[in-house]
Amino acid sequence: MKRGLWAIGVLLFVLFLSGCGARSELEKQAFVVTIGLDKGEEEHQIEVTFQVANPQVNTTQGAEAQNEKPSDTFTITADDLLSAKELAQSSLSREMTFSHLQTIIVGEDLAQDNLFHRIISSAMIDPEMRREAIMMVSKEPAQEFINANRPTMETRPHKYYEFMEDSWRETGYVPISNLNIFFQRTDGELFLAAYATAQRDPKHGVDEDAFLAGEVPQKGGDPVQIIGSAVMHSGKMVGKLNGEETRIAQLLRYHNLIKTMTASFPDPNNEEYRITVIMNQKSHTRIKVNTDQSPLKIEVEVPVRVQINSNLSLVDYTTSKKKRDHLKKSIEKDMEKASDSLIDKLQEEFVGEPFVWYAHARKDFWTAKDYVDYNWGQKFKDAQVDISYDVTIINYGEQLRPPTLEKLDKED
């Protein structure tokens, strides 16, 4: 008996050993924070750009690594991501790991290629790839984008993308686009990926938010602009939406992922000027899908809550109910118009929709096979879509009346 216990005691120590089987020291690892994917020169080859963070920079140990850069970027040409990772080891002293990979940037050329779906799907097989990684499409090759992206505030690259993603939730110019959602929508539904570029091509005279990445008139600062979205269908990029369209796409979803957004509308009481408002949603968008009808009928009602924080025309809204109602109506009309033109664009150019309306349509089906056979994407092309907005203006800023100068007013 005693001997038996002793043997079991020894076996117990085996438990402690399990910690050593796949041990890897922090110091020996290289954390990849960003991956860039581009089409290679040879067919079926891709160029993979790795941005490896230097964990020593900006820590208490930073003094020891003063002359080291915050990250190291290099590009490998290979058949797929996994072999590129292995080949990268030929120049890297540390063992590369994807466990802190947050962002995957795909060059537009590759995203439009049939190869892309294979690349990303096969990359998913690697257990180190995480489904919550953000996917972005860059206008130029991803390697150029990553090399050009040198934000001054965020020296550490992983912080940069983390903060950027947080700010997307505040503006709505960019869709929240992680790989998990990408893999949910490979069957005919549209997926929106953030669209980015480091090339400037400023456009003037456009309405405040109808920009694509690179078009925002900006001087100085970080060359990178992330605004608008790339439309992916069946894992392949088929088009682009600008910042305004992307925002509307977010509003038309049942689950709006955007907390607040600032938008401007022409002031109905003084057409010369625009009025800028802060918008959020008080409740979920109501979506009614009727698949029994042909063509398919979709009714959407978007409740929006508006705060007026800037008023260029200096029209006095607080004293006139008529003006207030007028403003409300005009915002509703403006947004309905913008939404209708987005729907027209989607129905004309693409097959499917990015608003997760398909999930509402599923309620009408009894079995999964019925739903798949219905072919939602094709049916949406001819669907009759009714969108209405329900605007509530909850406040007019902190001033009761616009602070006008008496004299100027009289001269007007």
Partner 1 sequence: MIKVSDGEIGSREFFAILYVMMAIRVTDSTPNLLHESGLTASWMIPLISGVALIGPVLLLFRLVKKYETGLIEITFELTGPFFGRLIAFLIFLSVFSSLSLNSRNYADIVITMYYPESSVLWILAVLILGAALYIAHRGLEAIGRTALLVVPLFIVTSVCLVFSTTNEMNYLFLFPIAGSGVTEVAKGGIGYSSLYADVIIAGVLASQVRTFNAYRKASVWGLWVSIGKMAIFLAVYVMVFDFHAVRNIAFPYHHLTRMSMVGTIANRMEAVYLAFWYAGAALHFAAYLYISAFLLGKVIGYKPFKQLLFPVAGTAVVLGMVPENYLEGGPLRMALLYSSSGMFLLLPVVLWGLDRMRKREKK
Distance between CA 138 and CA 151 in Å, rounded? 16
Strand partners, 46: 39, 78
Q: Which of residues 84-123 bind partner 1 (CB under 8 A)?
A: 99
Site membership for partner 1, residue 127 (CB under 8 A)? yes
Q: Which of residues 138-167 bind partner 1 (CB under 8 A)?
A: 162, 166
Stretch that binds partner 1, among 6-14, 33-41, 75-83, 311-319 (CB under 8 A): 6-14
Strand partners, 213: none
Indicate the length of the chain as a whole number.
412
Contact present, 286 and 251 (Cβ < 8 Å): no
* C-alpha 274 chain-centroid distance: 27
Site membership for partner 1, residue 8 (CB under 8 A)? yes
Stretch that binds partner 1, among 18-26, 44-52, 193-201, 226-234 (CB under 8 A): 18-26
The only residue of 40, 87, 223, 254 in contact with partner 1, by rule CB under 8 A = 254
Site membership for partner 1, residue 255 (CB under 8 A)? yes
Structure token pair of residue 224: 């990178």
The only residue of 2, 204, 219, 363 in contact with partner 1, by rule CB under 8 A = 363
The only residue of 64, 68, 86, 132 in contact with partner 1, by rule CB under 8 A = 132
Q: Which residues make Cβ contacts (< 8 Å) with residue 233, sequence separation at least 6?
A: 188, 190, 191, 350, 351, 352, 377
Site membership for partner 1, residue 321 (CB under 8 A)? no
For the bound state, the minimum distance from the C-beta of residue 132 to partner 1, rounded and expressed in Å, comes to 6
Q: Which residues make Cβ contacts (< 8 Å) with residue 138, sequence separation at least 6?
A: 36, 105, 106, 107, 108, 144, 145, 195, 196, 197, 198
Strand partners, 52: 32, 72
Site membership for partner 1, residue 18 (CB under 8 A)? yes
Q: Which of residues 365-394 bind partner 1 (CB under 8 A)?
A: 365-371
Binding site for partner 1 (CB under 8 A): 8, 11-12, 14-15, 17-18, 21-22, 99, 127, 130-132, 162, 166, 180, 183-184, 186-187, 254-255, 356, 359-360, 362-363, 365-371
